[in-house]
């Protein structure tokens, strides 16, 4: 059984539940990847894309249970759906469909150059600050260096086909978005309540290209356009290092 069988449905291949925030593309091109969905859109139309990793379902279950009493205390926040939780490696913004078609080869190459690595959700924070927050998030512990190198490889590969992340150049701050605020809000008590949280370790072993489709609701619908495995930790020929970021293309 593949690792995907234990993944949360949001960023896996086939849908595990009709209520998930991610609908899979039915057009597979080979095992492990999917063809972007065919549409009637003109070639110049734009798609809102990002690249992410998906934590295992059991890890998200643990965090979800921890958050439930906090949600009841703060009904003023827009808590994100558990089915839509992911860790963004690179937000690509609005991408032309012709450029999007070139991304799978670059992302597959980037993924193959990095070994699996261990992460865990830990602590909490807020953007831009806890006393005037727009976003409440959970942080990440573990091999953050490997995570940053993978994110840079993804950004470099996307840039080479004309899909450079609009925020490239800013410091990469990995996180999982837990809630958003309609107006700047003081979430200091929530950050304090989650400060000591240390989740179970999990293995990041696959990246995903995701289409974020905005609809009538506040919550976007995520459609997985493809996923590519990282190298096994003991796999031959893999290499980790900052130099990979410049070779992602």
Instruction: Note the pLDDT tens digit of each residue in 92-117.
Output: 999 999 999 999 999 999 999 999 99
In a domain, 27, yes or no: yes
In a domain, 116, yes or no: yes
The Cα 130–Cα 116 span in angstroms is 33
In a domain, 50, yes or no: yes
The total number of structural domains that make up the chain: 1
In a domain, 173, yes or no: yes
Q: What is the pLDDT of residues 56-103, one digit of tens each?
A: 999 999 999 999 999 999 999 999 999 899 999 999 999 999 999 999
Q: How confident is the model at residue 214, as a pLDDT?
A: 78
The Cα 60–Cα 231 span in angstroms is 23
In a domain, 99, yes or no: yes
Cis peptide, bond prior to residue 128, ω within 30 of zero: yes
Q: How confident is the model at residue 144, as a pLDDT?
A: 97
Q: How confident is the model at residue 45, as a pLDDT?
A: 81
What range does the domain containing 152 cover?
Answer: 3-36+45-232
Residues 6+ apart with CB under 8 A from 16: 9
Res 244 pLDDT > 60: no
- For residue 241, the number of C-alpha atoms closer than 13 Å in the C-beta half-sphere is 5
In a domain, 189, yes or no: yes
In a domain, 248, yes or no: no
Closest CA to 82 of 248, 222, 184: 222
Kindly state the average pLDDT of the residues 227-233. 93
| Rounded percentage of the chain residues whose pLDDT exceeds 90 | 66
Sign of CA dihedral 12, 13, 19, 20: positive
C-alpha dihedral, 119 to 121 to 127 to 130, nearest 10°: -150
Res 168 pLDDT > 90: no
The domain that holds 71 is classified in CATH as: 3.90.1140.10
The pTM assigned to this predicted structure is 0.80
In a domain, 101, yes or no: yes
What confidence tier does 217 reach under pLDDT thresholds 50, 70, 90? low
The Cα 10–Cα 112 span in angstroms is 22
Q: Are strands 46-53 and 87-96 parallel, antiparallel or unpaired?
A: antiparallel
């Amino acid at each position: 059984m593949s690792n995907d069988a234990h993944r949360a449905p949001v960023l896996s291949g086939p849908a595990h539940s009709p209520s998930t925030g991610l609908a899979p593309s039915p057009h597979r091109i080979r095992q492990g990847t999917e063809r972007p969905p065919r549409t009637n859109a003109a070639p110049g139309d734009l798609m809102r894309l990002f690249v992410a990793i998906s934590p295992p379902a059991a890890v998200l279950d643990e965090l979800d249970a921890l958050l439930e009493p906090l949600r009841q205390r703060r009904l003023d926040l827009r808590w994100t759906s558990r089915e839509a939780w992911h860790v963004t490696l690179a937000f690509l913004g609005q991408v032309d469909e012709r450029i999007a078609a070139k991304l799978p080869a670059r992302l597959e190459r980037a993924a193959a150059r990095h070994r699996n690595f261990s992460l865990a959700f830990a602590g909490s924070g807020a953007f831009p600050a806890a006393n005037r927050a727009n976003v409440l998030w959970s942080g990440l512990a573990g091999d953050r260096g490997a995570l940053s190198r993978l994110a840079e490889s993804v950004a470099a590969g996307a840039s080479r086909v004309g899909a450079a992340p609009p925020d490239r150049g800013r410091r990469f701050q990995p996180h999982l978005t837990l809630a958003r605020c309609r107006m700047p809000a003081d979430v200091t008590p929530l950050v304090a309540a989650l400060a000591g949280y240390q989740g179970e370790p999990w293995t990041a072993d696959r990246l995903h290209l995701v289409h974020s489709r905005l609809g009538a609701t506040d919550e976007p619908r995520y459609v997985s356009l493809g996923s590519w495995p990282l190298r096994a930790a003991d796999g031959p020929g893999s290499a980790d290092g900052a130099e990979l970021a410049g070779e992602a293309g």
